[in-house]
Amino acid sequence: MEARAMARYVRVTPRKARRVVDLIRGLPAEEARAVLEFAPQAASDPVGKVLASAIANADATGGRGDRGMLWVRRAWVDEGPTLPRFRPRAQGRGYRINKRTSHITVIVSDDTEGGTR
């Protein structure tokens, strides 16, 4: 059984979110949750929320009581739209600042086979 969760338009850069997602890919779900809880990166909070949502989706659809059997099978970060912002600079110029967004997807599964890393 497989369950997925997705968070779209998260205000964290995809490059930084991918660093965090790479930490949890292929781990058991509860271990991945513990890793994210103590990870120092700011992107670990939204990734942790997506992981918790995927676990809750697996519990709701599968009706299982044993959450220890879930594994993070796939997790990836896609780039969302970039919000252009401008900062004033010298001599009346405007300096462009790109506020990047991410789409974070996590798939958890309880099967024994399947690609992990």
Check which CATH number belongs to the domain holding 20 and give it. 3.90.470.10
Q: How does pLDDT run across 97-112, given as a tens digit for each residue? A: 999 999 999 999 987 5
Count of structural domains within the chain: 1
pTM, rounded to two decimals: 0.87
Q: Is residue 26 part of a domain?
A: yes
Q: Is residue 37 part of a domain?
A: yes
Q: Place 66 in a pLDDT band, splitting at 50, 70 and 90.
A: low
Looking at residue 113, what is its pLDDT? Answer: 57
Across residues 67-78, what is the average pLDDT? 88
What's the 3-state SS for the chain? CEEEEEEEEECCCHHHHHHHHHHHCCCEHHHHHHHHHHCCCCCHHHHHHHHHHHHHHHHHHHCCCCHHHCEEEEEEEEECCCEEEEEECHHHCEEEEEECCEEEEEEEECCCCCCCC
Its domain, for residue 83, covers: 2-109
Q: Is residue 34 part of a domain?
A: yes
Q: Is residue 60 part of a domain?
A: yes
